[in-house]
Amino acid sequence: MDAKQKVIFTCPTYSIEEFRRFATQAAELGATHVSISDLPKSRWQWELDMNDPYPNWGMMVTSLFKVIVPEELKPFLPADYAKKNLQIVKDRCAILKQLGLKAAFFGKEPAWLPEAVYQAHPDWRGPRCEHPRRARHTYYAPCIDQPEVLAMYRKAVAELCRQAPIEVFSLLTNDSGGGICWSVSLYPGPNGPSSCEKRSYAERVVSFMSTIQDGARDAGLQAEVSMNYGAGLISQAEVGGVIPMLKPGQALNFKTRDESVPTRFIGYNFYDNGVGPVLGIPHVFLVAEQLQDASADHTTNRTFMIDEANVPEYFELVRQFRANPATTMIGRMQNILRTAEHFAGPEDAHYVMHAWDKISRAALTIQKLSGDPVMLVGLVNQRWITRPLVPFPMELTPEEKDYYRKYQFQANSEEEAADLMNLQGFEVINGFSGSMISGTQFNIAITLLQSAIDDLAKVTKSPDDQWALLQHRLRVLICFYRNVLYTVQYQDILDRSDYAKPPVEENIYPMDGDQKLREIQIVTRHDIDNTIELIRLLESSTVPMVFTAPTKNEEDIFTLGPDLIDQLKKKVAITLKHQLDVHRLYHRRQG
């Protein structure tokens, strides 16, 4: 490793003890920096109006003013929340100091501020940054062309860096409730104050990144700052215009001024892991390929991402690549083999390799199915996993609906909320063709996972029942994949049904009934049986299988509730109660 190369590890942790274990592991694997900015969600932003789901995107991501509240913003932002976050940061940095490590900050800027801020300071109102089909209100980020706003950022960064030796800032923008004035990538379109409309966009972005660097310099640190567009599909020309103007230590959309890549990402996060909220699913082949790509580059920073702290396969694979840097496919496979031998011994390592390969292929198949990951925006955000399959969802009583509806991401009409395929204002999977294509993909993934389970059954060396546990997790994941499959099929049948013309049935014997009736009854039964199987798997496990909120009060649109099993049982009961409602749509079989 080049002396200037930074090796950054980032992973969500939920206690200081878990952070210590993760940071210690990172240090052993060559880390120079560990992210300290994965902090408790800013639920207060959603609680301003819990009928608007949009803040659920933004409250997941840290921003500077959620840790350090400038004096000017203290009347408008919750001081206790920021105080707790700062203490977490300080406690983590104390551990990093013991380990000889420094801190990195992953966040989002400029992040939206409450309306009261702009009522008191009208000139600070920057661009609208909400997604128009995902929000019920407007949300404004501060205008970073305003000297007072930049001064607040500089002071906040300086204070934060005095508490934490941060040398790396990685900031998401134009996404999740954050944005830059007049960017073409803003969800509502280019917008902002008329006063700054004609200013050079490159000057605006470079000035902001320089302000972050100046704040770190005020605290005696030299910081690198990168910004990345979350919604960047239409911004290539804009980004291309900024890159030549960047200063040393600055990067935009993973490019520096000389067009070099500032960091190589190795790993995955919760957003694109392809397995949704199921825990403990290793992505060995994916990570190995990324490690191979990075092995030949000894100067570019490396950022290791992981979505949970206890995945031993990930750490062992990194350890093998450190001992045996590989730049070829053969070398990559050799390191995977050594990793498998570490856990299963030479005699059974090939079974484990087969399983890991199939798991990675299954996850990749699902991950690439749509723009936003369907395992997140469908299964979790629309609560497919706990939501009953009924033909008339608008008729459900509050008692039958509230347990999932208030955690369902839908900012538009109740009719759109009732459409299972309406994912935050978009129908990513639509019609028979969409159902067929996505169904094929999920069936491929399910077959791969079942084959992986069969491979793991052949492994004889199993410390602490490691392989039996992974088999159990894969069975849970299969249930989640099947839930998506059946939900898509169910809505497709409804979409092909005529709600306007109820069936007029005749007492003719024999009569075969409607083809769609047979289809929807089969899908409903499949989903009921799948849900019951999932309940059995969750109840029989002594370790967590699914990521859930620690308490009921912390359940939100992106996090399933701790009463998941009870919700699944409720889903089955409601589905069974309403299963004959389909007779209002289709001719019944007589014979």
Among residues 219, 263, 249, 244, the alpha carbon closest in space to that of 32 is found at: 263
Q: Round to whole Å and give the CA distance between 103 and 167.
A: 7
The three state secondary structure string of 36-54 is CCCCCCCHHHHHCCCCCCC
Tell me the CA end-to-end span of the chain in Å, nearest whole number: 76
Task: Give me the count of residues in the chain.
Answer: 591
> Which residues, other chains included, contact 150 with Cβ-Cβ below 8 Å and sequence gap of 6+?
144, 207, 208, 211
**Local confidence pLDDT in tens for the 591 residues of the chain:** 566 899 999 999 999 999 999 999 999 999 999 999 999 999 999 999 999 999 999 999 999 999 999 999 999 999 999 999 999 999 999 999 999 999 999 999 999 999 999 999 999 999 999 999 999 999 999 999 999 999 999 999 999 999 999 999 999 999 999 999 999 999 999 999 999 999 999 999 999 999 999 999 999 999 999 999 986 667 888 999 999 999 999 999 999 999 889 999 999 998 889 999 999 999 999 999 999 999 888 889 999 999 999 889 999 999 999 999 999 999 999 999 999 999 999 999 999 999 999 999 999 999 988 778 999 999 999 999 999 999 999 999 999 999 999 999 999 999 999 999 999 988 888 888 889 999 999 999 999 999 999 999 999 877 678 999 999 999 999 999 999 999 999 999 999 999 999 898 888 876 788 999 999 999 999 999 999 999 999 999 999 999 999 999 999 999 999 999 999 999 999 999 999 999 999 999 887
Euclidean distance between CA atoms 367 and 374, whole angstroms: 8
Structural tokens at position 425: 């204002």
User: Which tokens go with 336?
Assistant: 């995977």
**Contact (CB, 8 A) for 173 and 50:** no
Q: Give the angle 341-342-348 at the CA atoms, nearest 5°.
A: 30
The predicted pLDDT at position 491 comes to 97
Tokens of 324: 């045996």
Question: CA-CA distance, 378 to 419, in Å (whole number)?
Answer: 11
Pair 107, 61: CB distance under 8 Å: yes
- Mapped onto helix, strand or coil, the DSSP state of residue 301 is strand
Q: Classify the C-alpha dihedral 554-557-558-564 as positive or negative.
A: positive
Dist CA 304 CA 31 (whole Å): 9
Q: What pLDDT, on the 0 to 100 scale, is given for residue 2?
A: 60
Helix (H, G, I), strand (E, B) or coil at 275: coil
Distance, CA of 223 to CA of 217 (rounded, Å): 7
pLDDT of the residue at 548: 98
Which has the closest alpha carbon to 204: 147, 261, 165? 147
Pairing between strand 140-142 and 125-128? antiparallel
Structure tokens at 245: 């103007």
Q: Which two tokens stand for residue 376?
A: 């997140």
468 contact partners, CB below 8 Å, separation of at least 6: 462
Task: Please give the full DSSP string across 189-228, using - where no structure is assigned.
Answer: -S---GGGTTS-HHHHHHHHHHHHHHHHHHTT---EEEEE
DSSP-derived pairing of the beta strands 125-128 and 7-10? unpaired
- Return the HEC string of 251-267: EECCECCCCCCCEEEEE
d(CA 281, CA 237) in angstroms, rounded, equals 38
DSSP-derived 3-state class of residue 377: helix
Q: Are 263 and 301 in contact (CB under 8 A)?
A: yes
Instruction: Name 16's Cβ contacts closer than 8 Å, sequence gap at least 6.
Output: 88, 91, 92, 95
Burial code of 191-205, b = ≥16 C-beta within 10 A, e = fewer? Answer: bbbeebeeeebbebb
Among 297, 197, 298, 212, residue whose Cα is nearest residue 247: 212
Separation of alpha carbons 22 and 9, rounded Å: 9
pLDDT of amino acid 1: 55
